[in-house]
Structure 1
Amino acid sequence: MYYILFLKCVISGFLLAAPIGPVNLICIKSTLSKGRISGLIVGLGAATADALYGYAAAAGLNFLISFINQYETAFRWGGGMFIAYLGWKTFQSVPPSPSIDKETTKNLYKVFAGIFLLTLTNPITIFSFIATFSSLGIAILVTSLPKAALAALGVFLGSLLWWIILTSAISFFRDKVTPKTISYINKLAGALIILIGIASIKIK
């Protein structure tokens, strides 16, 4: 029973992380311009938030769902504006020179916190988990808080697996991409992220 629950949650975390969105675009941009570690930190921030929402969905924390429903507009505007801001920063960013290619620990903490908050402020995340957990029959398998914690761990590892695969694939091409190409990619990714942010504010 436990391994079935764990496996289903790993699959859920992977599937929910995979669709292309602002975090995926930021991860790709960070990996290309700053290296795999920076891209993995982006994924780690998203995976941690996914685990928190996965726990809430598995444990049936109705108060959290009600809170998100009650302040859905604020979440939508806050999250959308934050996404647009990150898109603008991405659009403006330039490829670093080889001498300053490494991220500092302080910068990595900031990246982690920013992506964690970005994922948390997206109310669609919790409802995506509820829908996925229901379709895979995960909800009926969670009968205790330890099982909810196991579900959260499965979601975290599944999500992290996607980010490892993505950053590994992007890193393979990194040495073949010129700084000029990275600059174009930053502008394209930034523009797409800004549009996603605007769309998330308007779409209910």
Structure 2
Amino acid sequence: MGSFSSILLAWTVGVISGFLVSMPVGPINVTIINEGARRGFRWALMIGFGAVAMETIYCALGFAGFATFFDSQIIKATMALVSFLLMTYLGFKYLLGKSVVTHTKGADAMEEKLHPHSAFWIGFVRVLGNPAVLLLWIALAGAFSSHEWLGEDWTSRGIFISGVCVGAAIWFVLLSYAVSLKHRQFSTTTLVRMAQVSGAFLLGIALILGVRIILMLARHYATVRQLKEM
């Protein structure tokens, strides 16, 4: 069991991560907006909760499948760089995007195979059919582990995952409530602006990761220089 400060940090990072990862406008958010406009707050909220459930599973798999690799310093450094590049790419992609993706082939194929009928399972299956979510959580797991924002024990990771669940749920509750207030679908312009805001947040994360990488390199260079002078 870690200290209270480390536990609080893991949970806070989890909440923020869950919120930001759920925020970019894609198939699941478009589904909530469209279905919520037609069928109301509760239906939209249950779609969101289904998405939260699958998002949490993908997050846990991202840590479980690659947890042992993060013990290597070389892998940690590699994942730190990959995560920085991925956050930068996604940030610019959403910030400069002019359109919104409403469907993915994987999600459509999964829906045709499983035929979800309830709102919860619609949200669950839509995220299940989007393996890019799993890849994103793998990258984030590498970033947080390499920068030591999370402990290497499963207590810290479990608290982080619970924070992700809460953060994602907060986003979908807010989105469902906003849709129920407007009683209609959002315009394409509004969706694009939402994506741009999420892109700006992702670029902010990329900036933080980039600064930390530079500091890590500077410390490494200073250490090597001191050893050579001895």
**TM-score with structure 2 setting the length:** 0.54
Distance in 2, matches of 1:162 and 1:153, equals 15
Q: Deviations over 1:132-179 (max 9, x none)?
A: 3334457741422232221221111110111011111111111xx5xx
| 1:120 corresponds to which of 104, 118, 128 | 128
Look up the match of 1:143: 152
Task: Tell me the amino acid that sits aligned with residue 23 of structure 1.
Answer: I
Task: Tell me the amino acid that sits aligned with residue 120 of structure 1.
Answer: L
Structure 2 residue 176 is matched with structure 1 residue 167: yes
Look up the match of 2:52: 47
Alignment of 1:40-189 (within 5 A): 40-61=45-66, 78-82=106-110, 110-137=118-145, 140=148, 141-174=150-183, 177=184
Distance in 2, matches of 1:82 and 1:121, equals 6
Distance in 2, matches of 1:62 and 1:118, equals 26
Ranges in structure 2 where 5+ consecutive residues have no aligned partner: 1-5, 69-103, 192-230
Task: Tell me the amino acid that sits aligned with residue 163 of structure 1.
Answer: F
Percent identity between the two aligned chains: 24
**TM-score with structure 1 setting the length:** 0.61
Query: Match of 1:143, SS?
Result: coil
User: Larger RCO: Structure 1 or Structure 2 (Cα < 8 Å, ≥ 6 residues apart)?
Assistant: 1
Task: Tell me the amino acid that sits aligned with residue 15 of structure 1.
Answer: L
Task: Tell me the amino acid that sits aligned with residue 146 of structure 1.
Answer: T
2:47–2:123: 8 Å Cα contact kept in structure 1? yes
Look up the match of 2:37: 32
Distance in 2, matches of 1:128 and 1:52, equals 13
Structure 1 position 16, deviation (Å): 0.7
Structure 1 position 12, deviation (Å): 0.8
Task: Tell me the amino acid that sits aligned with residue 13 of structure 2.
Answer: K
Ranges in structure 1 where 5+ consecutive residues have no aligned partner: 64-75, 86-105, 190-204
Q: 1:5 to 1:60 in 2, by over 3 A?
A: farther
2:33–2:176: 8 Å Cα contact kept in structure 1? yes
How many pairs are equivalent?
A: 145
Distance in 2, matches of 1:173 and 1:11, equals 26
Query: Match of 2:59, SS?
Result: helix
Deviates more, 1:34-43 or 1:163-172: 163-172
1:5–1:138: 8 Å Cα contact kept in structure 2? no
Q: 1:62 to 1:118 in 2, by over 3 A?
A: farther
Larger radius of gyration: 2
Task: Tell me the amino acid that sits aligned with residue 131 of structure 1.
Answer: A
Distance in 1, matches of 2:34 and 2:106, equals 23
Q: Deviations over 1:105-151 (max 9, x none)?
A: x96xx221232122122110111112233344577414222322212
Q: 1:37 to 1:112 in 2, by over 3 A?
A: same
- Root-mean-square deviation (CA, aligned residues, Å) is 3.1
